[in-house]
Amino acid sequence: MKNIGVIGAGTMGIGIAQVAAQNWNNVVLVDTNQEVLDKAKAQLEKTLLKLVEKQKISQEDSNKILSLIEFTTNYDALKNADLVIEAIVENITVKHTVFSQIESIVSPKCILASNTSSLSIASISSVLKYPERMLGIHFFNPAPLMALVEIIPGVRTSNELTVEAKSIIDSWKKKTVLVKDTPGFIVNRVARPFYGEALRIYEEGIADFATIDWAITHFGGFKMGPFTLMDYIGNDINYTVTETVFEAFYFDPRFKPSFTQKRHKEAGLLGRKTGKGYYDYQENAIAISPKEDVQLGEKIFNRILAMLINEAYDALFMQVASREDIDTAMKFGVNYPKGLLEWSDEIGVENVLNTLISLFEEYGEDRYRPNPLLKRKVRELQMGN
């Protein structure tokens, strides 16, 4: 049993606390706002009740899980923690303030971690006296249900600490992947074309939202098309992630945000949470039917898939993660039907490269440039034949 600290009682914080407690660790959940803590506790009680009703856990286990979590506004309660995971607002100044305070409370052996999805671990840890004790532990929402956790050592993180932190999260029955401290890590980087290229296809007038979504789900076996998924995530959140990655990559055109999504965000058409996004979710709304043209659908799917595979190859080329971890991340972090690198072997890397070359020649834009590693692999295959 470990003593786990979680900072921030929002959706991610309470989810991480639940995962830790369900694996029989003592948990201290800290938030400076008592009202937020009270809501988090009520939400957790409701969640556990549903699990009991569905016979996923016993009433005894539910009581035990709740008893393992201490809800407090006092940071001093973290003094005996073995691992502290921060899950607060994505603001570097706020994180610096919190980690400076936490380091003075916890023991020298305590691992400090951030659940950040967009900020660099090197930057967050720069305020610490001992930055080698910190790394990223990035859960996906909802944390109790999503299997993937990205483990992100910073440039100063000790190797021993990385191994220890990964071992703890592995013991929580999560699928961990090791990732270099680069913008978007694996999932939020590699997934950008799923949204960006779909938006581009729409903006070119090739197909409407429903037809693009149909192409992706019908031919690719994805559970949701890009526009349905963006409405589910929220156009404000999805746009901000794209914009953050774009800026972090020094405005690389591969990650260029879309004016269509920006206008939806500005207009308050955020998706399900506002009742309207790319689709209308209000009562009595008329559903839009896709144009089920097989030739058009295959063209749309192949274009988006080629862009996704190209991005996965770039992550491998730049040694962001291993081939296995890149595929694992996309399967378990965003529920892709297959790993993208595995998918490229299945459909033929030559076909992927030809699609990209065709797009690059047509548009002359760097967003379509084929990755060198992809080109090398095709060359090797051709030489082997």
Please spell the DSSP secondary structure of 197-217, one letter per residue: HHHHHHHTTS--HHHHHHHHH
How far apart are alpha carbons 47 and 51 in whole angstroms? 6
Spell out the residues 6+ positions from residue 329 whose beta carbon is closer than 8 angstroms to its own. 148, 150, 177, 179, 186, 187, 190, 321
Q: Which of 3, 23, 103, 138 is catalytic?
A: 138
Q: Is the Cα dihedral 200, 206, 210, 212 positive or negative?
A: negative
Cβ distance 101 to 95 under 8 Å? no
Residue 138 known to be catalytic: yes
CA atoms within 13 A on the CB side of 85: 32
Angle at the Cα of 243 from the Cα atoms of 238 and 245, rounded to 5 degrees = 95
Residue identified by tokens 């303030």 is 97
Nearest to 99 by CA among 78, 80, 72, 68: 78
Catalytic residue among 188, 258, 302, 344: 188
Pick the catalytic residue from 3, 23, 115, 117.
Answer: 117
Asked whether the beta carbons of 304 and 268 are under 8 A apart, the reply is no
Could you give the CA distance from residue 149 to residue 333 in angstroms, rounded to a whole number? 8
Q: Are 115 and 9 in contact (CB under 8 A)?
A: no
How far apart CA 134 and CA 152 sit, in angstroms, is: 9
Does 335 qualify as catalytic in the annotation?
A: no
Contact between 8 and 88 (Cβ < 8 Å) = yes
Catalytic residue among 150, 235, 264, 371: 150
Residue 218 annotated as catalytic: no
Would you put residue 330 in left (φ > 0), alpha (ψ -120 to 50) or beta? alpha
Between CA 268 and CA 266 the distance in angstroms is 5
Residues marked active site are found at 117, 138, 150, 188
